[in-house]
Structure 1
Amino acid sequence: MGATKEFFDQFLQFINTADENLAQQLINPAAKFHVPFQADPLQGPKGYLTIIGMMRSGFPDIQWNIEEMITENDRVAVRFTMKGTHKGNFFGVPATEKPIAVAAINFYRLSNNQIIEEVGQPDLLALLTQIGAVPAM
């Protein structure tokens, strides 16, 4: 678990800064990223930077925090909290300046200290509700 924790500490630094050097170091060029808003997976460091760029376009101050992590062999499940301010267009919704605090649960496969696959499950309903795109229940 120690090496996995250290890896995800670096990964957290990467997603919170969009550091291209860390992307190259932590993400395998053939890695696949399955996201709920796109049928085909994104690939490699560039694909992951695309995901981060999409989130940062709507929430330029977005920061992820790891709440919980479970590891088994080459697989890791991570529960994150994403926090930011809606300052840009996101899924067609213009900036509202509203803060968000949204959970995401992502599943990773690692090989040779690099991510080779991720299935991301952000709580998009909560996010869209918090920015007013979906009526609150």
Structure 2
Amino acid sequence: MLMLGNKEIARLFFEETWSKGNLAIVDELTSPDFKIHYTIFPQPLDREGFKSFITDVHAGFPDLQLTITEMIAEADKVVICWAAKGTHQGLIHLLNLPPTGRAISYTGVEMYRLSDGKIVEGRTEEDALGLLQQLGVIPAL
């Protein structure tokens, strides 16, 4: 089997989960004690919580497209800057928000920490305010 570096592992994980909705890759590329932190959640998500989140986002935005705009890797960390766009066509359970039909476009940054070829931790910062404004949940300023 081909050994991948941290940057390649992070890219594969990001593209397979966020861009394609591939949940099987989560167990393959993360450690059993994997945690990922999102500012919108009070507690970090584990593997199963992350899979549920991916499923919910893809149900709400079936045409979701994420593009990596920059990647930086150093030692055990990989940072991915990304841009997302899609159309809100399905229920988002997290927000109990029925489809609005609105197009969205926003950006974010993910940082992964890896150990022994597995992602052990992730942290995400994204323009949640801008996204919620585009969806009409929060009025634009």
- TM-score, normalized by the shorter chain, greater than 0.5: yes
1:129 maps onto 2:130 in alignment = no
Where does structure 1 differ by over 3 angstroms across 4 or more consecutive aligned residues?
none
Aligned partners of 1:33 and 1:47 also within 8 Å: no
Amino acid corresponding to residue 68 of structure 1 in structure 2: E
Tell me the residue number matched to 2:37: 34
Look up the match of 1:54. Answer: 56
Check the 8 A contact 1:96/1:131 in 2, yes or no: yes
Tell me, in whole angstroms, the C-alpha distance in 1 between the residues paired with 2:28 and 2:12: 10
Partner of 1:76: 78
Is the partner of 1:42 in helix, strand or coil? coil
Q: Which amino acid aligns with 2:34?
A: A
Instruction: Give the Å deviation of 1:86.
Output: 0.5
Distance 1:83 1:13 in 2: 16
The CA distance in 1 between the partners of 2:112 and 2:17, in whole Å, is 15
RMSD after superposition: 1.8
| C-alpha displacement of 1:47 | 2.6
Provide the residue aligned with 1:16 in structure 2: 19
CA offsets, 1:104-129, max 9 Å, x none? Answer: 11111011222100111121111111
Q: Is the 8 A contact 2:17 2:54 kept in 1?
A: no
Residue-pair matches, total = 135
Could you tell me how far 1:130 is from its partner in structure 2?
A: 1.1
Moved more, 75-84 or 48-57: 48-57
Aligned counterparts of 2:126 and 2:98: Cα–Cα separation in 1: 20
Kindly state the Cα deviation for residue 6 of structure 1 after the two structures are TM-superposed. 2.4
Aligned to 1:107: 111
- Partner residue of 1:117 out of 103, 108, 121: 121
Whether the 8 Å contact between 2:64 and 2:86 is mirrored in structure 1 is: yes
- Please give the TM-score of this superposition, normalised by the length of structure 2: 0.84
Q: Where does the alignment leave 5 or more consecutive residues of structure 1 unmatched?
A: none
